[in-house]
Amino acid sequence: MKAILFDVFGTVVDWRTSLVRQFAELGKELEKELRFELPGEALADQWRQLYAPSMDRVRKGEIFWTNLDDLHRESLVQLLDQHGITLDVAIIDRINLFWHRLTPWSDVQRGLQCLKEDYIIATLTNGNVSLMVDVARHAKLPWDMIFCAELFEHYKPDAEVYLGACRLLCLPPEEVMLCAAHNADLRAARALGMKTAFIPRPTEYGPQQQKDLAAEEAWDFVAEDFIALSEQLRK
């Protein structure tokens, strides 16, 4: 194995806590102007719930290729309307950039540095390039490369994303591993011949999380975090 590709949202960064915190900070800033409290937790959860359906519209050909930043903004406008919240366009644009400032899980920076010593490390994400560059800079992530849906104009779990990254690395799928906190993502990668590593993130969706609490199949590696994964790979 020569390269490890990482899912980002949920696996590398704690998107939910990051969004809720940024909504809270914005709410305090706009408290007098809004005259109501922004329901940050609900907005974060509901925004994420629209993530897969919005990408499915692209995957099914219902709309032309649209990158994730634009899909996120459409979903945000829809949510604000549902909640009866009216905000200036500039504030909506600012909220949409919350996804560009996500905090990594505590093991990530050290774990990635350890893994980078022995392997090519890169993203394999549905986020677009500018989004992933900002996340990497904000979270201090030492990627060798950013692979994302935008490069292939397909969203995971379309095979074009996984195989496209392997092709650009000039590596066969069996020499590339996907590391993810989501069983479905790993299932799609394994079906294409890639190796797999599961990292549980049991609080990704908050205290009521009900899925991806544990490995659902015999993945090639299962580790509690990135540091433990690096130790397993060195044995």
Q: Which domains does the chain have, with CATH numbers?
A: 3-14+102-233 (3.40.50.1000), 15-100 (1.10.150.240)
Tell me the percentage of the chain whose pLDDT exceeds 90.
91
Q: Which two tokens stand for residue 107?
A: 């093991």
Mean pLDDT of 110-134: 98
pLDDT of residue 65: 97
Mean pLDDT of 65-83: 96
pLDDT of residue 175: 98
Q: Alpha helix (H) ranges present in the chain?
A: 15-29, 31-34, 40-49, 51-59, 68-82, 89-96, 108-116, 129-139, 149-152, 159-169, 183-191, 226-233
pLDDT digits (tens, 9 = 90+) for 142-188: 999 999 999 999 999 999 999 999 999 999 999 999 999 999 999 99
pLDDT of residue 35: 65
Residues 6 or more apart whose Cβ sits within 8 Å of residue 5 = 121, 122, 123, 124, 147, 165, 176, 177, 178, 179
Q: Is the pTM of this model over 0.75?
A: yes
Mean pLDDT of 41-59: 96
Average pLDDT over the chain reads 96
